[in-house]
């Protein structure tokens, strides 16, 4: 089975993420969306909430699962037998960091390749940070996130959190 990982914080998952995952699901037998932590970020949602939103947003893809993991992505890739790590590239500014990560991952696990995928041009500017910023100002960007996420964002705003 050709398995790939798509790691990220997904706080929350956006239509850009879904677009990349749909592309990856066409290339691989199984894609694992791997929700992790990034110490540099303050997440809006818990890992369990992010996992639930991602699973609901990806339910139309039978060969995609969503898991939570803490640790090095290459270690998880080895554990589950993944042959590739998917990374989304939106802009040239993403490339330098992503290339550095790909090279260190290759050094640590040469059997696991990194595959860069760009989202559709209609989502090229979308990222979770923009979505979180809009939500903090009381706006739910329904055109940028899947419906399960939009529903959770509306609830978040209504709760006044």
Positions annotated as catalytic residues are 17, 41, 90, 128
* 87 and 114 Cβ atoms separated by less than 8 Å: yes
Dihedral angle, C-alpha 118, 123, 127, 133, nearest 10 °: 170
Identify the CA nearest to 141 among candidates 28, 16, 54, 36.
16
Q: Are strands 30-35 and 64-68 parallel, antiparallel or unpaired?
A: parallel
Token couple for 98: 């992503």
């Amino acid at each position: 089975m050709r398995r790939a990982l798509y790691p990220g914080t997904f706080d929350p998952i956006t239509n850009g993420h879904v677009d990349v995952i749909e592309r990856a699901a066409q290339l691989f037998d199984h894609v694992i969306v791997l929700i992790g932590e990034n110490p540099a970020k303050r997440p809006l949602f818990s890992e369990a909430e992010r996992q639930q939103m991602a699973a609901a947003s990806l339910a139309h893809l039978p060969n995609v699962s969503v898991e939570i993991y803490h640790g090095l992505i290459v270690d998880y890739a080895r554990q589950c037998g993944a042959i590739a790590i998917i990374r989304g590239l939106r802009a040239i500014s993403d490339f330098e960091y992503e290339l550095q990560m790909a090279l260190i991952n290759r050094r640590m696990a040469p059997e696991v390749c990194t595959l860069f995928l760009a989202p559709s041009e209609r989502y090229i500017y979308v990222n979770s940070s923009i979505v979180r910023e809009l939500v903090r100002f009381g706006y739910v960007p329904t055109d940028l996130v899947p419906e399960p996420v939009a529903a959770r964002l509306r609830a978040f705003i209504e709760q006044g959190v």
